[in-house]
Structure 1
Amino acid sequence: MKNTFIWLLLHIGLMILPAINGLNAQSLAGSTVEGNVTVADGSPAAFATIRVKGSKNVTAADKNGHFMLTNLLPGKHDIQISMMGYETNSQSVTIEKGKPAQVVVQLKPGHNQLNEVVVTGQYEPQSLKKSVYNVRVIDSERIRLRAPVNVMGVLNNELGFRFSNDLTLGTTDVQLMGMSGRNVKILLDGLPMVDRGDTRESLNQIDINSIDRIEIVEGPMSVSYGSDALAGVINIITKKPGSEQLGITARIQEETANQDYNFLTNQGLHIQNVGVTWQKKGWNASAGITNNTFGGWQGQSIGRAKEWLPKDQLFGHGKLGYRTDNATIYYRLDALKENLLSEGPANVNTNQARDQKYITYRYVHQLQGDWKTSDRFQLNTQASYTDYQRRTQTTILDVTTGRRTLSLGEGEQDVSKFSSQTYRVTASYKASSIVSVQPGLDINLDGATGARIQGSPTINDFAFFVSSTLNPTSRISIRPGLRFIKNSVYDAPPVIPSLNTKFALTSTLDLRLTYARGFRSPALRELYFNFFDASHSIKGNPNLKAENSNSFNGSLAWQPTRTFKSTLGFFYNSFNNLISYGIDPNDPRISMTINIDKFKTTGATLENVFNWKDLSATIGFSYIGRYNNLLATPDTVSYANGQLTTFMWSPEVNTNLTYTLRAIDTKVSLFYKYSGKRPNYLATVNSDGQVTATLTEIAAFHWADLTVTKPIAKFLTLTAGAKNLFNITRLANNSTDTGGAHNASGPSPVSYGRSYFLGLNFQWYKN
């Protein structure tokens, strides 16, 4: 923002000086330099600063990376292009009288990535420093350095994130700041993703190669994004076209699964990706395809069975858009086909094995548009349609003859289908430099069918929301918000409020304080989805109540220099009617979704980001407490070790280190995280009916990845390294609380162990 402010002052000065000095138009006449600025992946370097060295001639690139410098005298000039988070680029330009010059620049990632531009929850893209939300950003450079296979491989090193794995179904769920995945809103370019069950498996069903960055907002965002946003929002933002006329990218990566590996197929992990972008005269198009193959890992299973199921994912996306200086519109399709194979052990008596294949199809259609009529008013429209289905196909294999027949067992041939429509319109009006207003309309229509679905239920949610940004002084920003909801299944509260504030205590110290009321109506999957097989006995509950919460968040950000930033965050969330799993009162063998009367989470985080010469680093710490539900009935519960504690605490420490060896143009990165033990109180009932609380826990563990990245040719970059250096596979676990009813007591699965990888990335752009 400092550069933008200087730019405005200089331009005002350039407009006033001619009048003051009596200069005539002829004396000001000169040539121009016009150009485009992009970053490493070809996307536009929006709002980059461009200046003529040794003069006051300065401008900024627009949102498309385009810029123009005017009134340059003939001769040789040095043009400097800079942008926060990237290395300054210098271009020497020789200008002839009356002839415009062209400059095309691509910026390289640098070490000052402390003021990213964010979009989640904003009226328009703005710097992180100005945002009233405390937003965490994982940029494209960090994603590239991690060489991930999926989104989980990016988030597992972040503070407050934990993942739980269901080896039977081959799915993974996310937990954020002590809350389960059902309370985390997953967005793709600002639009919600659909999941079949209560787990957020959609996180791992997004093509990692199409992602530009990930923005994370902790705490309720119910006013802006509605249901499921009680714990926070993860907004996955895909790559946008840059200034290139034509671009071709490709990626291939080979990775072991513990000690299992076979080149290009079967054992290990194999990634192949190719993408192309094109644009001309405002039109732009892109397409890409990715194949992720995981051969599985046998682990402690025997015979044909594998502990980690083989998975084959085929992603495809296509996009067509048109943009002008004041408007943008595009259509995007994301498609997925995923196959999971669970091979059962052979029966020694019958020589038969029971195999299950889980086949998922996901099609996400998006239509988005922006229209800026003036500097005061702009309109954003979004529409999406998701068609999602998961098929279970069970067969009986005769191991001797190789013949397969379909199994006729209950629930062993099944298709569950979910559809979701989202329509969203927001307008932003800047009444003055003090007051801005954003009204919006949000419509969500969800439906489901299938043998495991009770009937063909639908839930329709209509909402009107409005927020305003008030800036009574340059140091204070206040953003109140209200959301009005009409739900077809539940009587929603008449209004949901929120209040976000930001105080610039000094030029280097910012305080953010937030209160938000959360509301979440039960999803179709929690109400009507029944799931019974050899390992699961779960049913939905049509009598669930809607969840609501009161949340308080705060953060104190200190940035004394451009190369150091420290943020202290704290939160307290109180939930009523939180939906979780419990025992069916009519059948103790069955789990069902139930409302917990009360649940709370609280904690604090400390994150430090600094850059020194060729070292870029983040060091963070968190301490998160989850409420002990057994306190609700203290008179009927006994605890052998004394008094029950209100909160069960768990610490985390993480660090990301990247060192650049400039002599050989190589980056070495270490990603480390310590996850402390996770305690839980488990209630048991003895023969006398006395309830006893037992302290259980999931063990602590260390996780570390090491990567080395080096350009080996003009368009080629080599990436190699090792993941899970501590070779973690399972954690000691004497608790049933591992994140959902899909898990049981016993060792908690984390990974298939240490792996090694080698990847090659190709990038070619024509401007």
Structure 2
Amino acid sequence: MRYTYTHCLSMIVTLLVLTLPTLVRAQQPASRIEGTILLADGTPGSAATVQIKSLKRATTADNNGHFTLDDLASGRYELQISMVGYEPTRQTVDMENNKSSTVIIRLKAAQNQLDEVVVTGQYEPQSMKKSVYQVRVINSERIRLRGAVNVIGVLNNELGFRFSNDLMLGTTDIQLMGMSGRNVKILLDGLPMVDRGDTRESLNQIDINSIERIEIVEGPMSVSYGSDALAGVINIITKKPGNERLGINARVQEETVGNEYSPFANQGLHLQTANVTWQKKGWNVSAGATNNTFGGWQGQATGRAKDWLPKDQLFGHGKIGYRNENLIVYYRLDALKEDLLSQGIENVNTRQARDQRYITHRYVHQVQGDWKLSERLQLNGQASYTDYQRRTQTTMLDLSTGRRTLSLGEGEQDVSIFTSQTYRATASYKVSSAVSLQPGVDINLDGSSGARIAGSPTINDYAFFVSSTINPTAKVSIRPGLRFIKNSVYNAPPAIPSLNAKFALSPRLDLRLAYARGFRSPALRELYFNFFDASHSIRGNPNLKAETSNSINGSLVWQAGRQFKSTLGGFYNVFNNLISYGIDPSDPRVSMNINIDKFKTTGVTLENVFTWKALQATVGFSYIGRYNNLLTATDTTNYAGGLPSFMWSPEVNTNLTYTLPTLDTKVSLFYKYSGRRPSYQTTVTADNQVSATLTEIAPFHWADITLTKPIAKYLTLTAGAKNLFNITRLANTSTDTGSAHSSAGPVPLSYGRSYFLGLSFQWYKN
């Protein structure tokens, strides 16, 4: 083919037309973003990820915290900065042609830092590293990643925690380090929660969406917090105002219950919550409401009945406060209405069914204040009033006509009322740079009434306590303490001592040792509460003695910067007159609260926390032994076979969170292995002889997986699966009773594998 001059000219023009836009774009001046990432303490944020999401471009800061993004056209870009251990940050940059923009970005430490601040048992907020107590913290980030709808859903993967469920009443009890829930003090912002029975159902009656973090101190805290703190303290700390002027938070979550779910047929689990905060010139106001609806689970039940009872919870809270440089004061109200429904099986002959509703109202009023009078002296005051009512309403339903009538059986229509007043005041005084002193008073006034309560009893407890922090050297901190108690019912010991010490063996290695004497007076529910229905026969015991304990614990903590922390701990507790369930000597069919002469727990724990690039992990192990209290029975008791002194059970847990920078997504895996739990079942023969048979609750594996991803500037999506191994009941070597107060039968654990999808909204204006 021959090309003429005209052909050649035409081809050149065509090529110019096709390539001109590209040449023009190539000749446009490019821009650059340069920046420096700094951590909260001013050190370089090396390895921080900087991403321009709209262009799907990312880079990593060097050892000096510097980063560069080249060849950018003019326009507005949103930088997303993330780093393990620090809160994600966004910053908008406006670019002009042929110009460079320089930015300095300071990261705020996330609350999952190894040296985060704690308040439980402290004179003032301080880092965990400086605390004489070994404190575990579950921060808001871990709570969010769990996709939990209640506190039990957060604690069930933590080392040393186990739970038992009473399907008849829809309640859950907690066990910490081998001790039952009645020996664990539940605090809301440092003030005690009230429970009707011995189970700590209050843990499931706190709005999970209002919680900032959970602090756990294992071992007796009787000097600081008084009765019920023999095994330890769980302090639920609610959210406080930050730097924002106005904030709005909302969350919705839908979850299956096993294979049951319907958004309109009251099946599954449905959560909706909204909160608003405002502050100006020191004043702050917040309010929120949450509705948590659980449709129940059929399980092995038939007909109208369900294994897991439907539950509807409505939470509300309001707060008003004022703060300045030297004063913080606020009032807070937490309200709860809970409705559980137990539907009975239809009688095919009469076509009638017996239904029960358990209706709970709880109102908790709090007033708290901190006043810094000088650099040496600080005062703290707390007061709370709790009004707690649980009503049982029993009806007979005629299924052929739909007519419902009240049932008049024993204990089927009643209201149990518990009121509690707490007044607490402390002063923290720095005598010198090496000595601090904290005296305080603690007053608790409890009362109760109702059809199942014998009379209208009250218990008043008055205490004066004092502790001191002594730092003879920069590497040693010693904290002795004493608590003096006057109880209106019991002769308390003249003084309860404690001694905690922390030794900085090296910049990375800390040793903590502690001894504490514990005291716990019987609660009103244990003395006077009689509980008889179709599945429970429990009688109070007004002759109970007060519990005492002697406890020794220690821990060795090795920490390598922000990347690794390993904690090896051990404990040994001896309890005298521990209150537990036993057989009523006048009626072997009835359980009653009794004193056990001696009870012991001991064990070791190992927890490792580390971060590496985009991975954050916690790996823990525990081996806990519970003393066989049957060995202390009277000589008239006959037990079959030789009984070991301690019954042991292991645990392993792992929490893994991996951040995918390019996708701005976090993937979390929560795993726990709970080893076999040996126990004993007692039986009474015709000649009133008691025999014991070794029983064993089977071990089990539990795992949850979640995915969290921001999908817009203010929206975050959370999805995942819980109970991946689909555990529902644990095998036991005895006959099922369905009651949490018995060691017999298959143990109910969960309603099976579930899937959830949640959406969170966060908007702040400074």
Tell me, yes or no, if structure 1 residue 552 matches structure 2 residue 560. Answer: no
Aligned pairs for 1:418-567 (under 5 A) are 418-567=418-567
Distance 2:107 2:446 in 1: 43
Asked whether the equivalents of residues 723 and 755 of structure 1 are also in contact (C-alpha less than 8 Å), the reply is: yes
Structure 2 counterpart SS, 1:608: strand
Correspondence for 2:341: 341
Structure 2 counterpart SS, 1:630: helix
Distance 1:145 1:665 in 2: 14
Structure 1 residue 684: deviation in Å? 4.1
Correspondence for 1:7: none
Distance 1:241 1:439 in 2: 29
Distance 1:52 1:725, change over 3 A: closer
Distance 2:89 2:298 in 1: 50
Tell me, yes or no, if structure 1 residue 601 matches structure 2 residue 601. Answer: yes
Structure 1 residue 526: deviation in Å? 0.3
Correspondence for 2:49: none
Aligned pairs for 1:636-647 (under 5 A) are 643-647=642-646
Distance 2:389 2:633 in 1: 42
Distance 1:284 1:263 in 2: 37
Distance 1:93 1:524, change over 3 A: same
Tell me, yes or no, if structure 1 residue 707 matches structure 2 residue 706. Answer: yes
Correspondence for 2:273: 273
Q: Deviations over 1:4-42 (max 9, x none)?
A: xxxxxxxxxxxxxxxxxxxxxxxxxxxxxxxxxxxxxxx
Correspondence for 1:623: 623
Query: Which of the pair has more CA radius of gyration?
Result: 2
Aligned pairs for 1:190-205 (under 5 A) are 190-205=190-205
Distance 1:258 1:52, change over 3 A: closer
Structure 1 counterpart SS, 2:259: coil
Amino acid at match of 1:445: L
Distance 1:49 1:697, change over 3 A: same
Count the aligned residue pairs.
686
Asked whether the equivalents of residues 164 and 172 of structure 1 are also in contact (C-alpha less than 8 Å), the reply is: yes
Asked whether the equivalents of residues 621 and 653 of structure 2 are also in contact (C-alpha less than 8 Å), the reply is: yes
Tell me, yes or no, if structure 1 residue 398 matches structure 2 residue 398. Answer: yes
Of residues 285-294 and 741-750 in structure 1, the stretch that sits farther from structure 2 once superposed is 741-750
Query: What is the RMSD of the two structures over their aligned residues, measured on CA atoms?
Result: 2.5
Correspondence for 1:591: 591
Structure 1 residue 593: deviation in Å? 0.5
Asked whether the equivalents of residues 84 and 611 of structure 2 are also in contact (C-alpha less than 8 Å), the reply is: no
Correspondence for 1:308: 308
Structure 1 residue 733: deviation in Å? 1.5
Distance 1:744 1:681, change over 3 A: closer
Structure 1 residue 630: deviation in Å? 2.2
Distance 1:440 1:753 in 2: 48
Correspondence for 1:246: 246
Amino acid at match of 1:166: D
Q: Deviations over 1:459-492 (max 9, x none)?
A: 0000000000000000000000000000001111
Tell me, yes or no, if structure 1 residue 123 matches structure 2 residue 126. Answer: no
Correspondence for 1:663: 662
Distance 1:738 1:425 in 2: 46
Distance 1:494 1:735, change over 3 A: farther
Asked whether the equivalents of residues 679 and 743 of structure 2 are also in contact (C-alpha less than 8 Å), the reply is: no
Structure 2 counterpart SS, 1:153: helix
Structure 1 residue 629: deviation in Å? 1.5
Amino acid at match of 1:300: Q
Distance 1:342 1:670 in 2: 34
Correspondence for 1:366: 366
Of residues 82-91 and 542-551 in structure 1, the stretch that sits farther from structure 2 once superposed is 82-91
Amino acid at match of 2:317: H
Aligned pairs for 1:45-444 (under 5 A) are 48-49=40-41, 85-87=85-87, 113-263=113-263, 266-444=266-444
Q: Deviations over 1:159-179 (max 9, x none)?
A: 110000000000000010000
Correspondence for 2:97: none
Aligned pairs for 1:721-732 (under 5 A) are 721-732=720-731
Amino acid at match of 1:728: I
Structure 1 residue 709: deviation in Å? 0.2
Asked whether the equivalents of residues 112 and 563 of structure 1 are also in contact (C-alpha less than 8 Å), the reply is: no
Correspondence for 1:697: 696
Q: Deviations over 1:310-351 (max 9, x none)?
A: 000000000000001010100000000000000001100100
Structure 1 residue 231: deviation in Å? 0.2
Asked whether the equivalents of residues 299 and 306 of structure 1 are also in contact (C-alpha less than 8 Å), the reply is: yes
Distance 1:171 1:551 in 2: 30
Structure 1 residue 632: deviation in Å? 2.0
Distance 1:51 1:766, change over 3 A: farther
Structure 1 residue 50: deviation in Å? 5.6
Distance 1:351 1:440 in 2: 62
Distance 1:249 1:393, change over 3 A: same
Distance 2:739 2:510 in 1: 38
Q: Deviations over 1:123-161 (max 9, x none)?
A: 000000000000000001000000101000000000110
Task: Give the unaligned 5+ runs of structure 1.
Answer: 1-46, 54-80, 95-102
Distance 1:211 1:637, change over 3 A: same
Correspondence for 1:21: none
Structure 1 residue 557: deviation in Å? 0.3
Structure 1 residue 105: deviation in Å? 8.7
Structure 1 counterpart SS, 2:203: helix
Asked whether the equivalents of residues 182 and 200 of structure 1 are also in contact (C-alpha less than 8 Å), the reply is: yes
Structure 1 residue 638: deviation in Å? 6.8
Amino acid at match of 1:707: T
Asked whether the equivalents of residues 538 and 741 of structure 1 are also in contact (C-alpha less than 8 Å), the reply is: no
Q: Deviations over 1:32-64 (max 9, x none)?
A: xxxxxxxxxxxxxxx9546899xxxxxxxxxxx
Distance 1:364 1:500 in 2: 32
Distance 1:471 1:739 in 2: 53
Q: Deviations over 1:218-239 (max 9, x none)?
A: 0000000000000000000000
Asked whether the equivalents of residues 164 and 739 of structure 1 are also in contact (C-alpha less than 8 Å), the reply is: no
Distance 1:387 1:410, change over 3 A: same
Give the % identical residues.
Answer: 79
Correspondence for 2:672: 673
Q: Deviations over 1:718-737 (max 9, x none)?
A: 00000000000000113599
Structure 1 counterpart SS, 2:757: strand
Distance 1:531 1:549, change over 3 A: same
Q: Deviations over 1:379-411 (max 9, x none)?
A: 000000000000000000000111100111111
Correspondence for 2:11: none
Distance 1:463 1:260 in 2: 51
Distance 1:709 1:252, change over 3 A: same
Correspondence for 1:759: 758
TM-score by length of 2: 0.86
Of residues 627-636 and 593-602 in structure 1, the stretch that sits farther from structure 2 once superposed is 627-636
Structure 1 residue 374: deviation in Å? 1.3
Distance 1:82 1:51 in 2: 16
Distance 2:106 2:506 in 1: 35
Distance 1:250 1:83 in 2: 26
Structure 1 residue 695: deviation in Å? 1.7
Q: Deviations over 1:239-268 (max 9, x none)?
A: 000111100000000000001001166000
Asked whether the equivalents of residues 134 and 555 of structure 1 are also in contact (C-alpha less than 8 Å), the reply is: yes
Distance 1:739 1:200 in 2: 18
Structure 1 residue 588: deviation in Å? 1.0
Distance 1:631 1:518, change over 3 A: same
Q: Deviations over 1:430-465 (max 9, x none)?
A: 011110000000000000010000000000000000
Structure 1 residue 693: deviation in Å? 3.8
Asked whether the equivalents of residues 551 and 574 of structure 1 are also in contact (C-alpha less than 8 Å), the reply is: yes
Structure 1 residue 360: deviation in Å? 0.2
Task: Give the unaligned 5+ runs of structure 2.
Answer: 1-38, 46-80, 95-102
Distance 1:455 1:111, change over 3 A: closer
Distance 1:738 1:435, change over 3 A: farther
Distance 1:508 1:736, change over 3 A: farther
Amino acid at match of 1:721: G
Structure 2 counterpart SS, 1:337: strand
Correspondence for 1:748: 747
Distance 1:513 1:574 in 2: 17
Distance 2:202 2:608 in 1: 30
